[in-house]
Homo-oligomer: A and B are copies of this chain.
Amino acid sequence: MSSFSFTVQARDGAARAGRLVTPHGEIETPAFMPVGTAAAVKAVTARDLVEVGAQIILANTYHLMLRPGAEVVAGLGGLHGFTSWKGPFLTDSGGYQVFSLAGLRKLDEEGVRFKSHLDGSPHMLSPERSMEVQQLLGADVIMAFDECPPYPAPREAVDEATARTTRWAVRSRSAKTRDDQWLFGIVQGGVHLDLRERSARELVALDFPGYAVGGLSVGEPKEDMMRVLSHLQPLLPESKPRYLMGVGTPEDLIEGVHRGIDMFDCVMPTRNARNGQVFTSQGRLSIRNARFRDDPRPLDPACSCPTCRTASRAYLRHLHLAGEMTAATLLTLHNLFHYLDTLKEVGQSIRLGRFQDLRERRLAGPRAEVPEP
């Protein structure tokens, strides 16, 4: 356990800048974790990820248990032996994907039986099986098995799922045997502040080394998400890392940091890149737009990523419209750099006591399509 630590090094209001140390490397927080669903971040290589400044990658337990199988990954040395990424990994519990992707689910107190979305084969996830799979995968940070209710859902259903999440957290903790992994608990409770508070208090009593906030960004209004985060902020231990799962836009990340969050993951920068949607310091743009046909400028003249250093909007538009995979690679590199660089800048602003200035500037800035030149 001594190879793990989390230190808050600076505060500005509720915002924190710190350092998470894991057996496979250190992560400066606030941190963004690119999503590597199938043990690879789509369209880029591990070398690319190092170059754009990634420090930790998220991999999906659900996908990897189905293909190639957790036992196959374990036989090749876990995620660190199997993949080309040698830095820290985090795996999710599998719960979220079971509820959003798998077919023919059957949920009871034991766990969830489901059919693979790939081939219909039957599988089961429970706290014990999720821990077994995540221990076979060998990520540095692993997640307790939780039930993530849909939005909207009746309050009673959310109440039930939240209570079960606590019971499953107890079982997850008991089932974990490896001491070179940190297990985080997941707070549920939907948009109900009292359920969120109960969930947080129950999980904090279990003394996990870190806490995630799950069940947000599932369709609820953004104000509700922010209300939940504000409410949870004083309830979660100051000295432990806090991870907001599956969120969001660069502005959402800044608002999360403002409410005490240290870690984020989201498919938005990578998925949007493959669809030609680009994040820039001047707002978002769609590379398909006809006005970029002859535009010799980089995606973002203020950006120093490998794509902005070497490719024009005109060239990227051409590659995207021609269906060239290279377009996905170059736009993914840019979007990831934009996310990672945004949180780097956020961290620096916290250390300098200027986070609120940055927050106000970024949130007042353009977010939509880049205006005409």
Measured CB to CB, the residues of A under 8 A from B are 38-47, 67-68, 72, 75-77, 81-84, 293-294, 296, 306, 310-312, 314-315, 317-319, 321-322, 324-326, 328-330
Q: Which of B67, B296, B319 lies in contact with A38, CB distance below 8 A? A: B319
B325 x A42 contact (CB < 8 A): yes
Q: Which of B76, B315, B319, B324 lies in contact with A76, CB distance below 8 A? A: B315
Closest 10 CB pairs of A and B: A84-B310, A38-B322, A68-B318, A43-B325, A40-B326, A325-B325, A84-B311, A40-B324, A76-B314, A82-B315
A42 x B326 contact (CB < 8 A): yes
Q: Which of B81, B82, B318 lies in contact with A39, CB distance below 8 A? A: B318
A289 CB to nearest B CB, Å: 14
Report the bound CA distance from A328 to B328 in whole Å.
12
B329 x A67 contact (CB < 8 A): no
**Cβ of A324: which chain B residues have Cβ within 8 Å of it?**
38, 40, 42
Report the bound CA distance from A321 to B231 in whole Å.
44
A269 CB to nearest B CB, Å: 15
Report the bound CA distance from A338 to B77 in whole Å.
28
Report the bound CA distance from A310 to B86 in whole Å.
10
Report the bound CA distance from A328 to B293 in whole Å.
27
Q: 26 A-B pairs, CB-CB below 8 angstroms?
A: A38-B318, A38-B322, A39-B315, A39-B318, A39-B319, A40-B326, A42-B325, A42-B326, A43-B329, A44-B326, A45-B306, A45-B310, A67-B322, A68-B321, A72-B314, A75-B294, A76-B294, A76-B315, A77-B296, A81-B296, A82-B312, A82-B314, A83-B315, A325-B328, A325-B329, A329-B329
Q: A39-B319, A68-B293, A325-B325 are in contact. List 20 more A-B contacts (CB 8 A).
A: A38-B324, A39-B318, A40-B319, A40-B324, A42-B326, A45-B306, A45-B326, A47-B306, A68-B314, A68-B321, A72-B314, A76-B296, A77-B296, A81-B296, A82-B312, A82-B314, A82-B318, A83-B315, A84-B311, A325-B328
